[in-house]
A and B are shown apart, each in its own frame.
Chain A
Amino acid sequence: MKLVRAELERLGARRFVQLMLVLLVLAFGVTASTTLAGSHQPTAAELIEARNQAAESRRQMDDVYQRCVDRVNGNLPPGAEEEYFPADCSEVDPVRQERLPVATDFLSGVFVFSQQAESLLYFLIAFLVLFGFLVGASYIGADLNSGGVVNLLLWRPKRMTVLGAKLGTLLGGVLGLSLLASVAYLATFWVIGQAAGFPGHLDGVFWRDLGSVHGRGLVLVLLTTVLGFALATLGRHTSAALGTAAAYLVVWELGARLVMEIVDTAHPDRFMLSSHVGAWLTGRVEFWDATACATATGFCDRVYALTWQPALAVLLGLTAVLATAAFLVFRRRDLI
C-alpha cells in the first residue's frame, strides 16, 4: 500500500502527466466555450416551428413510402411513374428507419445535448485513449531509462511487485481521472444544454446508451494504457512504445491494407486493430468487401460485419500477451 501511495504521488508529480492534464483542460475549455458561443436557448416560436418541420418531414416520409407501395401495386396516378422509388419499398418504410425526424433536428444554432452528447463523449474517449497510452508509456519508460526503477528495486527488491504496483497505480490513476473528466465533461455540456441550448429528450434509453458508450470507452482507455506500459517496458524506453504505435499504423494499417487490397484478400478490415476498436466502441461495424462477389452467381452480400464480442477478444488477447511478455522480460532482465 505504501508503494502504491508513493507511486501515485510520483505519477501525479510527473511533468508529462501535468502537461497532458493541461491539454485535456484546454481541449475541454475550447470545446465548451465554442459550443456556448455558438448556441442559444430556443424561443417558443422556434420550438413550434421545429416541431412543425419535424411533423412535415415525417409526413413526407409516410407519403413517399405510400407512393412506393402504390407503384408496386400499380396504383400510381398517371404522370407519377417517372418519380424514383427503390425496388424494395421497405428501404423507405418510416417504421424501419433507425430514427425519425424530431423537432431538435430543425433547431438551428442550438446546442441539443441529447443529440450531441455521444459524439462529444467519443471525442473525450479519443483524448483519454491517447492520454492513457502516452502516460502509460512514459511512466515506466522514463523510470527505466533514468534509473528510477533501479532506485526503487534497491528499496523493494521484488521485481514483480514493483512492476505490478506501477501498473496497478497507473490503471487506477487513469481510471479515476477518466471518470472525473467524463463526469465534469458531460455535466458541463448538460448545463450548457439547459442554460444556453436545449437538453432534448433525456429518457432512460438515452442515459443507458450513453453509459454503454462510456463504459466501453473506459475499457478501451485502460487497454491502451496497458499497451503503452507494456511496449515501453519491453523496449526499455518511452519512444519504444511510440515507435511501435507509429510503425503499426504506417506499416500495417496503411501498407498492409494496401497490399491486401492489391492481392484481393477477403475481408481485409478484420485484420486491422482499428476495425476492432470501432466494433468494440459501437457494438457493430459493417464493411464493404469489393472482392466478395467476384465468383458468385446468385444473391451475394458484399457487406460483412464485425461485432463487439470478437473485437473485445482480439483487444484483450493482444493486451494480455504484451503485458505478460513485459512482466516476464522484466523479471529476468539485467538492469544495467
Chain B
Amino acid sequence: MSAVIEIEGLRKTFNSVRNGRRVAVDGFDLTVGAGEVHGFLGPNGSGKTTTLRALLGLVRADGGWMNVLGAPSPTHLSQVAGRVGAIVESPQFFGNFTGYRTLRLLALAGGVPVSRVDEVLEQVGLHDRGDERVKGYSLGMKQRLAVASALLKNPELLILDEPANGLDPAGIREMRDLMRSLADAGVTVLISSHILAEIQLICDHVTIISRGRRVAAGRVEEVLAGFDQHEFLVRVAEPERAAELLHAGGLPAVAHPDHLVVGQVDDPTTISRLLGEQGLWVRELTPLRPDLESVFLELTGEGAHPEVPRQVDSGARDRVIELDTGVGEGRGGDA
C-alpha cells in the first residue's frame, strides 16, 4: 500500500519572549497509507496540531521531511492542495456570512464548481440550515460546516483535527458513518481526536504522539495486542483465598473485594481447575482486553498519577530541560 502521508524526523520549536523556548514536535514520524482511516492521538500539547499545521504548510518546520500525496510539503504542497481536504483546530468563520456563502467563497477561490456546495451541505446534514448566518450555528453545526469545507474539493486525502468537537452523540455517530463511507469510497482519512472510543470504532490504523514524539503506530489491533497482558477477571466467593491459591499455582493474581484479576493466563481453564480443586467455584471468568484508552494512558503517562493535577504539555517543557541538560530521553521516546 503506497503512503499518502509520510513524515520523518519532524521538529518544531516555538520561541517567544514571554514563554521562552518550547519544543512542540521532536523528531516525529508518521506514515499514512492509501485508503486508511488513520487515528492520530495524543494528549493536549503533545504536538498533534503543530504536526498537522506543519504538514499543511501553516507552520514552518525546523527540521524533518514531509510528503503529501507524493509531493514534498510545504514546497510543492500547492501541486496537490486540490486533492487534500483539511480542517485544523475548529476553524472560525465570519458570523455574518451564511453557511452557504462561506462554502461558496471557498469553492470560488479553489476553482471548485459551486454546485458542490449543496452536495456537501447535504452530506454533513446542514442543507436545511445553509441559508442561516454562521453566528447562529451551534458549536456542532460549525464543526459540520468545517467538515463540509474540507469535503468541498472531493478530496483523496482528508485531514481532520478534532472533527467531533462539540458534536452531540447523534452527531458523533453521523460523523463516524460519514468517515466510514468516505473510507469505503477510497478516501484516505487522518483524524486527530481525543475521543478514543470513537477512534477505536472508526480507525483501522493509529499513531500515538506524546511530547512531540511517536510512541506507538500500526494497525489498531496490533497496537492493542502489544499491550495484552493476558489478564482475566475472576469472580469467586473468597477472592483473597483464591488469589493465594492461584499464586501458589504460578499465576499472579490481585484480589479485590468482589473479584480478582489474574495475569499471564495462557489457558483460562487452569484458573477453573486450580480453584475448583480447592472447592472454590468460579462464577465469572472474563478476559480483560486492552482498549485504546488504556493503551493511550499507559503510553502517554496521562493516567499515572491521578491525584496530581495534570499540566497541559508539561511533557514538552520537560523535554526542553532534558535537551538543555543533555540528560536522558523522555518516557515517550523510550516506549
- The chain A residues found within 8 Å of chain B, CB to CB, are 2-3, 5-7, 9-10, 13-15, 142, 146-148, 150-158, 332, 334-336
Contact = CB atoms under 8 A, between A and B. Distances in A.
* B58, B59, B92, B93 — most chain A CB neighbours (10 Å): B58
A14 to B, nearest CB: 8
B22 to A, nearest CB: 12
B109 A332 contact: no
Contacts of A6: 105-106, 108-109
A270 B206 CA distance: 66
B91 A335 contact: no
Contact of B53 (A5, A10, A146, A335): A335
A148 to B, nearest CB: 7
In the A-B complex, the 3 residue pairs with the closest CB atoms? A6-B108, A6-B109, A155-B110
Contacts of A142: 94
B110 A156 contact: yes
Interface in B51-108: 53, 56-60, 74, 77-78, 81, 84, 86-88, 91-94, 96-97, 101, 105-106, 108
Interface residues of B, number: 31
Contact of A7 (B59, B86, B109): B109
Contacts, number: 77
Interface string B96-140: 110001000110111100000000000000000000000000000
Contacts of B106: 6, 151-152, 155
A150 B105 contact: no
Contact of A9 (B14, B77, B105): B105
Interface string B210-229: 00000000000000000000
A150 B88 contact: yes
Contacts of A153: 56-58
Given A2-B111, A6-B109, A151-B149, A157 B92 contact: no
Contacts of B58: 150, 153-154, 334-336
A154 B108 contact: no
Given A152-B106, A152-B109, A154-B87, 13 more contacts: A2-B109, A3-B109, A7-B109, A9-B108, A10-B105, A13-B101, A142-B94, A150-B91, A151-B149, A154-B56, A154-B88, A157-B77, A334-B60
Contacts of B84: 154
B109 A156 contact: yes
Given A152-B109, A156-B109, A146 B74 contact: no
